[in-house]
């Protein structure tokens, strides 16, 4: 019984307009356990989103392997839910229809679909907004619905690509608490990409620090603090320092 | 401006009743007072909306009346104008009445509208299908690209004589010509809309486990809809243009035929009837389009 998610010496190149292709990842290896909450943190260009897209199945690695449950990831699938930074809700569907989409893809009967979608909306506190269109909702509400839409198909892992980057600070704090509650309730694994140190320490059991050009892992930090975490605590500050140092070291390597 | 004053009136109406709420809070049941206030607001809002709509309709009608009056006045103001060449609406109406009574006009209208609708419907189905296929299947796109774009550049009016030569003057060439003209705007906009579907939507659908067909009907087509609608609107206008050209090139029924008849008989009134009808059709078709788009796609108006 291995890890739920395995990256084995993954390298990723992208074609550019010039002659030399750009390297986003260089021989990255990483194992993630089931039920674990992991944050990938690093500056832009460190390949954290690429890593997430590989796991989602949007990309195929140039070299190395990405395994999920021991099987090579070849395409996107409902066992790996994705929450994007931009609101990827379908604007032509109401909140409930958006949440029902994944169930529709599995040909779940309409009454049951409706029931499960409403339950999922209930869970994120938005049952009252079920029949509203995304443009009628605030950014925070939309992102809650996006989470409900991913969770309703009961994925094994939730892949989140800077999901709270576009909302204001107060909404962001509320969304973080909500996410922790959902994670504890459902037992889903979470891989969460962010460039915000505070967010990483508040949420994750494990913070993977990445360095750019090409993307590599520069540190792998376990955060053993109890939930809910106190942002003002000394331990919080110590973790903050360690991650900051790791990020700075990565930036230095790039300069050298 | 007018809507602003209207708003203020309705607000004044509500605030005038505020003491009622004061009474309720005093007796300790605030919630019903709030509900009542909301109710009152809703009613005032609905009233002002209705008034706004009524005013708009009235102004629309007034505009038409003003136009007709001006037109009627022209021969009286400019005495050098020949009313036989530029007949006022009263003369046009006089010429139209016998045509309406005999049912001749209705026959022409039916003939023209049937042609335009048939050609447009064919273009709609073929245009959207071709747009989806060429946008989703690179092989088909590259294969059809040069020829389709080449044909697109040929103004459909240029094909009219050829169509008459090939198919004679029956219904088929006219419908085919309209379909031909209306096909290209629908095809090209569908193609662009489908090709440019936001990748985040496609990825969301894939990550939620949707297959090809579900992705097409639940994601790609709705996402491309704003583009498709723009093409459809243009195609409606093109249909009417080609309709006239096709009917002028040889037919025994239809509005443009009626107009060419009026030309030969030197009855300018009849030509004017045709112009008024074509203008009305264009206007009604466009209104119908806007209404249908709003009814069918409630999310579209405010989301974009």
- The model's pLDDT over B227-237, given as tens digits with 9 standing for 90+, comes to 999 999 999 99
Distance (Å) from the C-alpha of residue B204 to the closest C-alpha of chain A? 7
- The answer to whether residue B163 scores a pLDDT higher than 90 is no
Cβ distance A77 to B207 less than 8 Å, yes or no, reads yes
Q: If you average pLDDT over residues A116-130, what whole number do you get?
A: 89
Chain B partners within 8 Å of A151 (Cβ): none
What is the SS3 assignment for A161? strand
ipTM of the predicted structure? 0.89
Contact yes or no for B203 and A58 at CB 8 A: yes
Report pLDDT digits (tens) over B111-136. 999 999 999 999 999 999 999 999 99
CB contact under 8 A, A150 and B205: no
Specify the fold of B89-303: MetI-like fold (1.10.3720)
Contact B208 A153 (CB under 8 A): yes
CB-nearest partner of B200 from A75, A88, A104: A88
The pLDDT score that the predictor gives to residue B134 is 94
- A251 pLDDT higher than 80: no
Can you list the pairs that B219-223 forms with residues at least 24 positions away whose Cβ atoms lie under 8 Å?
A: B219/A90, B220/B132, B220/B136, B220/B194, B221/B132, B221/B194, B222/A90, B222/A92, B223/A90, B223/A92, B223/B193, B223/B197, B223/B198
Q: Does A56 sit within 8 Å of B207, measured CB to CB? A: yes
pLDDT of A90 higher than 60: yes
Q: How far is A68 from chain B (nearest CA, A)?
A: 14
B8, pLDDT greater than 80: no
- Contacts B221 to A, Cβ<8 Å: none
Checking if the pLDDT of B25 tops 60, the result is: no
CA of B217, closest CA in chain A: separation in Å?
12
Domain count, chain A: 1
Q: Given this model, what pLDDT does residue B34 score?
A: 86
Report the C-alpha gap between A72 and A81 in whole angstroms.
Answer: 17
CA distance B231 to chain A (A): 19
Evaluate if residue B20 carries a pLDDT over 60.
no
Q: Do A104 and B214 touch (CB under 8 A)?
A: yes
User: How far A64 CA sits from the closest chain B CA (Å)?
Assistant: 22
**Chain B residue whose CA is closest to A89:** B201
What is the per-residue pLDDT across A11-42, written as a single tens digit (0 to 9) for each? 899 888 877 888 888 988 889 988 899 999 98
- Cβ <8 Å between B206 and A76: yes
Q: Could you tell me which chain A residue has the CA closest to the CA of B214?
A: A105
- For B26-77, the pLDDT digits (tens) are 445 566 788 889 999 999 999 999 999 999 999 999 999 999 999 888 888 8
Q: Do B302 and A135 touch (CB under 8 A)?
A: yes
Interface of B with A in 207-236 (CB under 8 A): 207-211, 214, 218-219, 222-223, 225
| Minimum Cα–Cα distance from A55: chain B residue | B207
Give the structural domain span for A7. Answer: 1-79+195-256
| Residue A97 forms part of a structural domain | no
Residue A53's closest chain B neighbor by CA?
A: B203
Instruction: Compute the radius of gyration of chain A from its Cα atoms.
Output: 19
Asked if the peptide bond before residue A253 counts as cis, ω within 30 degrees of 0, the response is no
> Which pTM was predicted?
0.80
Would you say B92 and B271 are in contact if contact means Cβ atoms under 8 Å apart? no
Q: With a cut of 50, say whether residue B241 has pLDDT above it.
A: yes
| Average pLDDT score over residue span B208-222 | 92
Is there a contact between B208 and A133 if contact means CB atoms under 8 Å apart?
A: no
Nearest by Cα to A44 from A190, A250, A256? A250
Asked if residue B23 has pLDDT above 60, the reply is no
User: A31 to chain B, minimum CA–CA distance in Å?
Assistant: 21
The domains of chain B are located at 2-77, 89-303
Residue A256 confidence (pLDDT): 55
Closest chain B CA to residue A135: B303
Chain pair A-B, CB pairs under 8 angstroms: 77
A248: CATH: 3.40.50.300
> Hey, are the CB atoms on A82 and B303 less than 8 Å from each other?
no
Alpha carbon distance A33, A37 (integer Å): 9
Residue A118 lies inside a defined structural domain of this protein:
no
pLDDT for B2: 39
Q: What is the pLDDT of residues B242-277, one digit of tens each?
A: 999 888 887 788 888 899 888 888 888 889 999 999
3-state DSSP of A1-69? CCCCEEEEEEEEEECCCCCCCEEEEEEEEEEECCCCEEEEECCCCCCHHHHHHHHHCCCCCCEEEEEEC
Is residue A185, in this structure, part of any structural domain at all?
Answer: no
């Amino acid at each position: 019984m291995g890890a739920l998610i395995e990256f084995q010496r993954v390298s990723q190149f992208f074609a550019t307009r010039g002659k030399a292709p750009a390297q986003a990842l260089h021989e990255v290896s990483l194992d993630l356990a089931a039920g674990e909450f992991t944050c990938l943190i690093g500056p832009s260009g460190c390949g954290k989103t690429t890593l997430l897209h590989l796991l989602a199945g949007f990309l195929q690695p140039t070299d190395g392997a990405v395994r999920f449950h021991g099987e090579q990831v070849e395409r996107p699938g409902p066992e790996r839910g994705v929450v994007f930074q931009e609101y990827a809700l379908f604007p032509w569907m109401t909140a409930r229809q958006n949440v029902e989409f994944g169930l529709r893809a599995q040909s779940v009967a309409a009454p049951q679909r409706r029931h499960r979608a409403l339950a999922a909306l209930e869970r994120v506190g938005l049952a009252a907004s079920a029949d509203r269109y995304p443009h009628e909702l605030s950014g925070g509400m939309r992102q809650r619905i996006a989470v409900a839409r991913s969770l309703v198909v009961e994925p094994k892992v939730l892949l989140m690509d800077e999901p709270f980057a576009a909302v204001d600070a107060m909404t962001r704090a509320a969304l973080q608490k909500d996410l922790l509650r959902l994670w504890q309730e459902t037992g889903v694994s979470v891989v969460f990409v962010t460039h915000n140190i505070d967010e990483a320490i508040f949420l994750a059991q494990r913070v993977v620090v990445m360095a750019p050009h090409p993307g590599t892992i520069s540190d792998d930090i376990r955060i053993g603090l109890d939930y809910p975490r106190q942002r003002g605590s000394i331990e919080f500050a110590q973790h903050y320092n360690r991650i900051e140092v790791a990020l700075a070291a990565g930036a230095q390597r790039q300069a050298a | 401006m007018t809507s602003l004053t209207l708003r203020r009136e309705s607000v004044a109406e509500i605030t005038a009743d505020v003491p009622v709420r004061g009474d309720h809070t005093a007796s300790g049941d605030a919630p019903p007072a709030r509900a009542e206030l909301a109710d009152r607001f809703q009613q005032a809002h609905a009233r002002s909306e209705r008034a706004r709509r009524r005013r708009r309709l009235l102004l629309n009608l007034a505009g038409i009346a003003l136009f007709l009056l001006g037109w009627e006045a022209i021969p009286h103001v400019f005495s050098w104008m020949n009313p036989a060449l530029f007949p006022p609406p009263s003369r046009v109406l006089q010429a139209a009445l016998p045509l309406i009574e005999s049912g001749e006009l209705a026959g022409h209208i039916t003939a023209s509208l049937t042609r335009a609708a048939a050609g447009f419907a064919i273009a709609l189905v073929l245009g959207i299908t071709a747009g989806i296929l060429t946008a989703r299947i690179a092989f088909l796109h590259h294969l059809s690209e040069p020829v389709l774009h080449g044909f697109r550049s040929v103004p459909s009016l240029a094909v009219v004589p050829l169509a008459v030569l090939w198919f004679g003057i029956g219904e088929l060439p006219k419908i085919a010509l309209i379909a031909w003209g209306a096909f290209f705007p629908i095809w090209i906009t569908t193609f662009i809309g489908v090709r440019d579907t936001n990748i985040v939507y496609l990825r969301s659908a894939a990550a939620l486990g949707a297959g090809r067909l579900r992705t097409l009907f639940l994601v790609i087509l709705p996402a491309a809809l704003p583009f498709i609608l723009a093409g459809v609107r243009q195609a409606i206008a093109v249909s009417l243009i080609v309709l006239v050209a096709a009917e002028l090139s040889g037919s025994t029924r239809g509005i443009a035929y009626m107009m060419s008849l009026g030309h030969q008989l030197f009855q300018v009134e009849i030509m004017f009837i045709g112009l008024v009808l074509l203008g009305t059709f264009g206007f009604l078709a466009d209104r119908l389009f806007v209404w249908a788009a709003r009814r069918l796609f409630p999310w579209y108006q405010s989301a974009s």
